[in-house]
Amino acid sequence: MNRRMFGQWAATVALAISAAFAPLAQAADEAPDAMIKRLSDEVLGAIKSDKAIQAGDTSRILALVDSKIMPNVNFARMTAAAVGPAWRQATPEQRAKLQEEFKILLVRTYSGALAQVDDQTISIKPQRSAPTDTDVVVRSEIRGRGDPIQLEYRLEKTPGQGAGWKIYNLNVLGVWLVETYRSQFAQEISAKGVDGLIAALAERNKTNANAGANTSKKG
Amino acid sequence: MRTRLIRTSACAGWVLAAAVMATLGGCAAGPNPRDPLEPFNRKVSEFNQGVDSIVLKPAAIVYKNATPPLVRTGVSNFFGNLRDFWSFVNSTLQFKLQDAVESLARFQVNTMFGLGGIIDVASELNIERHKEDFGQTLGRWGVPPGPYLVLPFLGPSTMRDTLALPVDYQGDLLRKVTPSAPRDALYVLRAIDARANLLRIGGVIDEAALDKYSFTRDAYLQKRQAEIFENKHDDDKDGAEPKDGEIPPLPDDGPAKAPAAGQPQPVPAR
């Protein structure tokens, strides 16, 4: 009897442990297009069920981005690519600040778009890469009212346990995000250096936050 | 009146561009090889923003507040339908036969069953829209975009797409409306409708950009490139970062959406 109970207990524990690790194993093996599909559905679902996000609450959107999206993004690589050659001379503190300010800028920019999500659905286009590729583009399309919006992601497969695929560039309607910032960043850096760029980003974020506060007061 | 305005402004763009090029003469291109006319372009951008904030944007707001959404959708559909016909012609010129068939089908279905294009029946039937203009056709044929150019009233363009404008103007079905008074009214309505559709985007570019001019230019050139080579993705390079020290290759192509002649390229919303 005791032995049987122990057997049951052990089986339950084993099941619980494998259940806990299954998502990890799945994440590591997950194909990039499957990951984008899962991520898109999760984010859309989270927005649809959250009134605060629909109302444009930036802090809630930031929380959603941090919990759902950022773990799947190599944001350091993204920032480095936008900053260009000056990244290599930047100190670790400067790099951290650049990433932080750039992230806030992007989140604010996209929060307006995210707040307008209602009945949209995501479809992923057929994948053209080989299963052995470690750097791929995943194409998706948001369908809702009006013309469909093309969204593409560039991902790299990072080695190591549980790392899996990480997004490092994003394309909206044919425009790559990193490329669009590269020459603006270069302008700031050549005029005022890396600290000048950090200051410019911080200033832009401050202005945006104030403008946002004003409109929400009015609205 | 709109027509004349567009024509004049396109011409003015040319003359001015030519003048600037002449004065620059041999003196080397600016920091951005795709934008040797940057000082000139920046001035025109400022001018366009002024025009937008004084004329076009207020008109679009009034229009949006005065008309119910259903009417506005009908108006957008109507102009979109006329555009589909020109897209059909250009898809054919580019040998994109599938797209051409779909654009023609859209035009026929919407004209016959959608009350002359006011109802977008074709989209309900899942017939996709493929926007094409003559600048895209030239690009497809291998004509390089040339320098970036901001046209007065019309906004971002390139040398090639500016050259294509008169052809787009010829292919604009609105031009066929005979009494000039209703035709000009339609031109104005089209401009306001296009601007009103951008109001929702609000100040996105203002918020996202450190330098609005560079942001618009870089996004525009990429978008135009993507529109022309939509089926020729380069999975090894698109959106990948440049090698160390290498100057990022600029997109080989011009602007977003060469505006159909008569349709001002609205200055980005604020």
| CB of B202 less than 8 A from some CB of A | yes
Is A184 within 8 Å of B238 when comparing Cβ atoms?
no
Nearest-by-Cβ selection for B208 from A105, A170, A185: A105
- End-to-end, the C-alpha distance of chain A in Å comes to 68
How far are the Cα atoms of B9, B32, B87 from residue B196, in angstroms, in the given order? 22, 33, 22
Cα A148 to chain centroid, rounded? 21
- What tokens does A73 get? 């993004």
| CB of A39 less than 8 A from some CB of B | no
Cβ neighbours, 10 Å, residue A28: 14
Check whether A20 has a pLDDT greater than 50. Answer: yes
Percent of chain A, pLDDT > 70?
79
Is A180 within 8 Å of B235 when comparing Cβ atoms?
no
**Which phi and psi angles does B136 have, rounded to 5°?**
-65, -40
Q: Do the Cβ atoms of A118 and A144 come closer than 8 Å?
A: yes
Using DSSP bridges, classify how beta strands B148-151 and A135-143 pair: parallel, antiparallel or unpaired: unpaired
Please list every residue in chain B whose beta carbon sits closer than 8 Å to the beta carbon of residue A105: 208
Q: How far apart are CA B58 and CA B196, in angstroms?
A: 10
- What tokens does B132 get? 């094409």
| pLDDT confidence of residue A166 | 92
| pLDDT confidence of residue B240 | 74
| pLDDT confidence of residue B177 | 86
> For each successive 10 residues of chain B (270 residues), what is the average pLDDT?
45 46 41 91 96 95 95 94 96 95 96 94 90 96 96 96 95 87 93 89 81 94 89 66 47 39 43
| pLDDT confidence of residue B261 | 41
| pLDDT confidence of residue B269 | 41
Unique residue bearing structure tokens 């030239």 = B138
Is B222 within 8 Å of A200 when comparing Cβ atoms?
no
- Give A 93-132 residues with CB within 8 A of chain B: 105-106, 108-109, 112-113, 116, 128-129
Cβ neighbours, 10 Å, residue A215: 12
Among all residues of chain B, which has the CA nearest to that of A83? B241
pLDDT digit string, tens, across residues A82-99: 999 999 999 999 999 999
pLDDT tier at A128 (50, 70, 90 boundaries)?
confident
pLDDT digit string, tens, across residues A149-178: 888 999 998 876 556 899 999 998 889 999
Nearest-by-Cβ selection for A169 from B209, B233, B239: B239
Check whether A34 has a pLDDT greater than 50. Answer: yes
